[in-house]
């Protein structure tokens, strides 16, 4: 398997609490891989370690074949690993278009000397960034709110904007954390469409934490199940929904009635 993320025997302890315990998994390049499990299973802590927000207590994480030990989120961002959050982090007083234009690093206008001495270069750089942002707005069908302040958007529109930010750079992997939370079903369908298109047309790899089983079953293959801080099972959603151990650990009962739909735990 051509793995773009490799987690090898990783643990994370907080004082006397072990949040992730000797966990190993891989995310295949070009896949949409789901990560599910009950609350407290260690999913978010694992995401935090992959994204560079938290260092492992032990074990190794590799991204695109290179160890990420000691790398910070902005360094991983520069290598093409991006993350969205359950609660969107928009610049509320900037427009949708301006939010997108804030993403690319090392823009000419960030350097005061460039503003004074290389005005034409600065303007050309800003033009290219704006064109890219307009393309993203069109791709995500957000043209009707492009000039709206981001703080005025609905929850689902903010999630689309977060996804749009990942399109402003050359993303290799996007970590999606509870993207369905607080999103109505219509906008969630639009989000799912956009994720599928980015995966199919632009080769994005997605690693998805999600409690909404409809979304997991639509998007993800494979699906990894975590419980008690480590990987319990991995397989297709169809196989896992009928796995008695998974049903007991995650759903707390028989598969009947819990195979599909929005499951919260």
Which DSSP string do the residues of 39-60 spell out, in sequence order?
Answer: TTSSHHHHHHHHTTSS--SEEE
Instruction: Please tell me whether residue 204 adopts helix, strand or coil conformation.
Output: coil
Annotate 157-226 with three-state secondary structure: HHHHHHHHHHCCCCCCEEEEECCCCCCCHHHHHHHHHHHHHHHHHHCCEEEEECCEHHHHHHHCECEEEE
Compute φ and ψ for 145, nearest 5 degrees: -125, 15
- Hey, CA dihedral for 147, 140, 132, 71, is it positive or negative? positive
pLDDT at 250: 75
Taking each helix axis from N to C end, the angle separating 155-166 and 185-202, rounded to the nearest 10 degrees, works out to 10
pLDDT tens readout for residues 207-239: 999 999 999 999 999 999 999 999 999 999 999
pLDDT, position 48: 94
* SS3 label, residue 207: strand
Rounded distance between C-alpha atoms, residue 121 and residue 143, angstroms: 28
Element containing residue 231 per DSSP (H, E): strand 230-235
How far apart are the C-alpha atoms of 81 and 64, rounded to whole Å?
9
Q: Please answer whether residues 164 and 195 qualify as being in contact, where contact means their C-beta atoms are separated by less than 8 angstroms.
A: no
Q: What is d(CA 163, CA 147) in angstroms, rounded to the nearest whole number?
A: 17
100 three-class SS:
helix
The pLDDT value given to residue 247: 86
Q: Which two tokens stand for residue 216?
A: 């997991």
Ordered domains of the chain (ranges, CATH): 3-90+168-251 (3.40.50.300), 92-152 (no CATH)
pLDDT of 156 reads: 87
Pairing relation of β-strands 230-235 and 81-83? unpaired
Q: Please report the pLDDT score of residue 169 as a whole number.
A: 86
pLDDT at 103: 83
Q: E strand or H helix at 14, and its extent?
A: strand 3-14
CA neighbor of 81 nearest in space, from 187, 193, 6, 152: 6
Q: CA geometry: angle at 99 spanning 156 and 174, to 5°?
A: 65
Dist CA 173 CA 63 (whole Å)? 9
Cα distance between residue 40 and residue 37, in whole Å: 8
Q: What is the pLDDT of residues 45-70, one digit of tens each?
A: 999 999 999 999 999 999 999 999 88
Q: Locate tokens 């707005």: which residue?
A: 137
Instruction: For residue 28, count CB atoms less than 10 angstroms from its CB and return exposed for 0-12, middle for 13-18, buried for 19 or more.
Output: middle
Low-confidence spans in the chain with pLDDT less than 70: 1, 86-87, 105-122, 125, 251-265
Tell me the whole-structure pTM to 2 decimals: 0.85
């Amino acid at each position: 398997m051509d793995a773009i993320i490799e987690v090898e025997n990783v643990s994370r302890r907080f004082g006397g609490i072990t949040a992730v315990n000797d966990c190993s998994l891989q995310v295949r390049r070009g896949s949409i891989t789901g990560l599910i499990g009950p609350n407290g299973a260690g999913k978010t802590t694992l995401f935090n370690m992959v994204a560079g927000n938290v260092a492992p207590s032990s074990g190794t994480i590799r991204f695109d074949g290179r160890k990420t030990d000691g790398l910070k989120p902005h360094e991983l961002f520069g290598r093409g690993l991006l993350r969205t959050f359950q609660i969107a982090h928009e610049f509320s007083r900037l427009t949708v278009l301006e939010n997108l234009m804030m993403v690319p690093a090392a823009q000419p206008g960030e350097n005061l000397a460039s503003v004074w001495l290389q005005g034409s270069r600065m303007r050309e750089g800003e033009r290219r960034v704006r064109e890219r942002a307009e393309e993203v707005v069109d791709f995500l069908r957000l043209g009707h709110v492009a000039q709206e302040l981001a703080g005025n958007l609905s929850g689902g529109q903010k999630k689309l904007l977060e996804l749009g930010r990942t399109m402003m750079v050359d993303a290799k992997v996007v970590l999606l954390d509870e993207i369905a939370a607080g999103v109505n079903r219509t906008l969630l369908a639009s989000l799912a469409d956009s994720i599928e298109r980015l995966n199919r047309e632009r080769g994005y790899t997605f690693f998805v934490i999600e409690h909404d089983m409809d979304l997991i079953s639509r998007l993800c293959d494979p699906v990894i199940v975590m419980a008690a801080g480590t990987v319990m099972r991995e397989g297709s959603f169809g196989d896992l929904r009928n796995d008695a151990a998974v049903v007991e650990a995650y759903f707390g009962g028989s598969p009947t009635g819990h195979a599909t739909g929005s499951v919260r735990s």
